[in-house]
Structure 1
Amino acid sequence: MTDPSYDPGDQPMPSRRSGGFRRPRGGIPLRAVAPNAVTALALCSGLSGVRFAIGHDFERAVAMIMVAGVLDGIDGRIARLLHGESRFGAELDSLSDAISFGVAPALILYLWSLSAFPRFGWMAALVLAVFCALRLARFNALIDEKEQPHKSAGFLTGVPAPAGAGLALLPLMLSLWVDAPFLSSPYFVAPWAIFIALLMVSSIATFSWKSLRLRRNIRFEALALVVLLGAALITLPWPTLSLVASLYLLLIPFSIVSYERVKRLRAAGAGPREPGPTPSV
């Protein structure tokens, strides 16, 4: 994503005040090819999700969006590791996010459920896709703002695009796990998609995993938890993904309360000035 303060894991956007990155005379530097290739693969994965949805293979469709989210989470780290940040990469990443986490999930939901209620269903799909694009546009407009309270406090503004795509697809993932007809009803899916779209463009504070600090005495336990999560994803993907998405949604009220506490501390002159106020676990 183009903004670590909104969507963690994206390629960093160069500052316009500093003049940005100048394009070398020979074209894109070789060190920028790898992160841009990963971003392009994320875009291919998101679009492939639409292709599978057209064929009514919704398991693979959701899996492609999840793969796009993983690729989107590592392209920025590869760029920073190789010092391959570029304006081209930032713009490509923004476009990839809008398609993979806005357009593709909206079309998948429409082909799965919303097409049974064409007018209102298509409106809900449009809202999800367009609001995702608006979220990214908002970041691009605020990229040079020095005062970003959420970012400086270690929080994100609204639900990041990859998480928003996962939450929007939660009814579909649940339907792949349990047999509940209401989950595929457009009367449920359409309001749900609009609700998630509003969360993406909202100004609420959400936790950033980048600000998470682990205590030294539980780092081994955290590693074991990651292994268990990976095993669960392999053996029981839909229950695991559904539970992870539900847990993230349930944490949003706690993130709002946590940010309000940080604001009160800052107002009293005792608040942290650097990112990372998220409680350690």
Structure 2
Amino acid sequence: MRAVAPNAVTALALCSGLTGIRFAIAGDWERAIIMILVAGVLDGIDGRIARLVRGQSRFGAELDSLSDAISFGVSPALILYLWSLVAAPRIGWICALVYAVFCALRLARFNAQIDVVEQPHKSAGFLTGIPAPAGAGLAMLPIYVWLWSGEAVFRSPWIVAPWVAFIAFLMVSSLATYSWSSLKLRRNIRFEAIVVVVIVAAALVSAPWQTLTVVCVGYLATLPFSIRSYRRIKRLREGSAPSPAAG
């Protein structure tokens, strides 16, 4: 019974992601995006609920991956296709397929490495590539900009298609990206961090699309720093590793 609560939250995330497709078919782009964002929030808390009630299970892990593949792979791909890529059906559909398949491949790679002991990125507190929820949020960046700017150029499939392909590549890449465990705040700035969270939450309520645009750009800006941080940790580990005994 302890597994019911986290699995129910995962199922709600799946329902939210699928509902985003429904709103996209109706041309309600704002609600379609909101549904994907709600799925991301639910995906972020189901694991914590499972650990809190000690309800982790292999079934829950598999359900979570299937939910992520649909909510953050298939749903954003279809939303972007219906919003923009349909204007260039051949190349647009290829990019939508690439994004959805690469998201599934990323999740499959993650599942395959669950029982692997030697994981350099994970042991250092980093992720390999950008996670699926972040990929979904980044892939929809052109829609955010279009919603608050009204500029039709951001809806052009010749801009959206390469952007979607680029985000798909980041998901399956071997780049070291920050995870929550790698973000360690010093005690003297924890109050300031809470203030920043409150400001971002208020901005999301009053100006959601502008705020999401800034958040996406800020996340992309952290990639060079995460890559450099991991390389520094890797060099330190190699330097501290004992040298093999001679002959």
TM-score bracket, shorter-length normalisation: over 0.9
Asked which structure has the greater RCO (Cα within 8 Å, sep 6+), the reply is 1
What is the CA distance between 1:214 and its match in structure 2? 1.2
User: 1:105 maps to what in 2?
Assistant: 76
Distance 1:91 1:264 in 2: 35
Deviation for aligned residue 1:177: 1.2
Partner of 1:200: 171
Q: After TM superposition, list the pairs within 5 Å mapping 1:35-54 onto structure 2.
A: 35-54=6-25
Q: Does 1:136 align with 2:107?
A: yes
Task: Find the aligned partners of 1:137 and 1:229 in 2 and give their Cα distance.
Answer: 33
Deviations 1:204-259 (A, max 9, x none): 00011222111111111111111111111111100011100111011111111111
2:236 to 265, 270, 274: 265
Task: Look up the SS of the partner of 2:149 in the other structure.
Answer: coil
Partners of 1:36 and 1:146 in 2: how far apart? 26
| Per-residue deviation, residues 47-69 of structure 1 (Å, max 9, x unmatched) | 01100000000001011101100
Q: Which residue is equivalent to 1:177?
A: 148
Question: Secondary structure of the residue that 1:177 maps to in structure 2?
Answer: helix
Q: Cα deviation per residue 1:127-181 (whole Å; 9 max; x = unaligned)?
A: 0000000001111222221110000011100000000000000001111111222
Distance in 2, matches of 1:81 and 1:96, equals 21
Name the amino acid aligned to 1:249. L
1:127-276 matches, within 5 Å, as: 127-269=98-240
Distance 2:195 2:131 in 1: 26
The CA distance in 2 between the partners of 1:143 and 1:89, in whole Å, is 14
Task: Give 1:261's aligned amino acid.
Answer: R
Secondary structure, counterpart of 2:148 in structure 1: coil
Q: Which of 88, 91, 105 pairs up with 1:120?
A: 91
User: Greater shift after overlay, 37-46 or 206-215?
Assistant: 206-215
The size of the alignment, in residue pairs, is 241
Q: What amino acid is the match of 1:34?
A: A
Answer 1 or 2: which has greater helix percent.
Answer: 2
Q: CA RMSD in A?
A: 0.9
After TM superposition, the runs of 4+ consecutive aligned structure 1 residues lying more than 2 A away are: none
Aligned equivalents of 2:122, 2:187: Cα separation in 1: 25
Structure 2 gap segments, 5+ residues each: 242-247
Q: 1:107, 1:248 → 2: CA distance?
A: 24
What's 1:18 paired with? Answer: none
**Counterpart secondary structure, 1:156:** strand
Helix, strand or coil at the partner of 1:176: helix
Structure 1 residue runs without a partner (length 5+): 1-29, 271-281
User: In structure 2, what is the Cα distance between the partners aligned to 1:209 and 1:31?
Assistant: 25
Q: In the alignment, what sits opposite 2:245?
A: none
